[in-house]
Amino acid sequence: MSYTPDSNRYQKMEYRRSGKSGLMLPALSLGLWHNFGAIDNIENARKILHTAFDNGISHFDLANNYGPPAGSAEQTFGQLFKEDFKPFRDELVISTKAGWPMWDGPYGDWGSKKHLVASLDQSLSRLGLDYVDIFYHHRPDPNTPLEETMAALDLIVRQGKALYVGISSYNPEETQNAIKILKELGTPCLIHQPKYSMLERTIENGLLDVLEANGVGGIAFSPLAQGLLTNKYLNGIPENSRANAHRGNGAIEEDAITPENIAKVRLLNEMAIERGQSLAQMALSWVLKDNRISSVIIGASKPEQVLDSVGCLKNTAFSADELQKIDNILA
């Protein structure tokens, strides 16, 4: 049976411009970092994607190494795209990345032109696409000249393999330099994807200012701190949690689940209840309160988590007192 998305999907979502570009992104984007690998249930993956798009989440975020095994999230998405989403290609923003270990030898990692061009060709093959909407360099490469990495991103756009390019996990100085080089090449930097949550606020120390000054969008990953900012760990580590999964690659570290952190999370949870939100909803709303953030990447292991996340949009405003209270809890 062919998939027919909800006809009211665009009324359920807020859309934000990515910096000073022409591209609008949904306030919530779906990341395929977990739960879309070859080891995962493809019918569950299908339901998650359907639920996301039915609720106006039109941006799906991937990377070459998502799985496990690496590459399999792109293969899963490629299959589901072919079966369910192909008629809606022009309504979707699909992104992928390169820059973490992907294959053996000196060209399977980092930021050389050789790696980036080859990796995207492999990604397009797995995805079954002619182009991606956004292609990211996934992390800075200390050994390759930034000019070479940015020239590769520029080349990829000129080849028609990506419409826009971005960077991820670059610090403020690296970001400023990358933006300058790309601007001189004539392919502006669309977006930066940093880690950002109530518990991880490094980007407030300069990076957000660089993005704002240069008209570059921000899209936050790990807004729930790998699940710590949900009700999952309020009473310790449950059996089926990411902390017990030992899957590496982004699973929450058990040492993050300290008595001190649990105490903070419990206080935040009480505050979320006062706001009429789940803790996860409040954590997402908190990231979205900053207009320099174009979108927040959510993950989901089941469709219900997507619906819970979308519920955050009912209340994204915070009073000065609430923000102060949050800062006091986290101090």
Closest CA to 167 of 213, 152, 158: 152
Among 28-32, 83-87, 228-232, 284-288, the range scoring the smallest mean pLDDT is 228-232
Express as a percent the part of the chain with pLDDT over 90.
91
Closest CA to 188 of 179, 201, 196: 179
Query: With contact defined as beta carbons under 8 Å apart, do 192 and 175 qualify?
Result: yes
Rounded distance between C-alpha atoms, residue 121 and residue 277, angstroms: 42
3-state secondary structure of 192: strand
Express as a percent the part of the chain with pLDDT over 70.
96
The pair of three-digit structure tokens given for residue 226, joined into one six-digit string: 């790998």
pLDDT-based confidence at residue 241 (cuts at 50, 70, 90) = low
Rounded distance between C-alpha atoms, residue 170 and residue 12, angstroms: 32
Q: What is the mean pLDDT of residues 242-247?
A: 53
pLDDT-based confidence at residue 244 (cuts at 50, 70, 90) = low
Asked, as a colleague might, if the bond just before 69 is cis with ω within 30 of 0, I would say: yes
CA–chain centroid gap for 56, Å, is 16
Residues 266-304 as b/e (b if ≥16 CB within 10 A, e otherwise) read bebbebbeeeebbbbbbbbbbbbeeebbbbbbbbbbebe
3-state secondary structure of 110: coil
pLDDT at 251: 63
| Integer CA distances (angstroms), 30 to 36, 86, 147, 221, in order | 11, 17, 31, 10
The pair of three-digit structure tokens given for residue 294, joined into one six-digit string: 């174009």
The ranges assigned to domains in the chain are 9-231+289-313
* Domain 9-231+289-313: CATH superfamily, name plus number: NADP-dependent oxidoreductase domain (3.20.20.100)
Question: Which residue matches tokens 């293969």?
Answer: 75
Q: For 50-99, write each residue's pLDDT tens digit.
A: 999 999 999 999 999 999 999 999 999 999 999 999 999 999 999 999 99
Question: Which residue matches tokens 């017990």?
Answer: 244
Residue 247 has pLDDT above 90, yes or no: no
Q: For 165-211, write each residue's pLDDT tens digit.
A: 999 999 999 999 999 999 999 999 999 999 999 999 999 999 999 99
Q: Environment class of residue 263 by beta-carbon count within 10 Å: exposed (0-12), middle (13-18) or buried (19+)? A: exposed
Residue 106 has pLDDT above 60, yes or no: yes
Predicted TM-score (pTM) of the model is 0.95
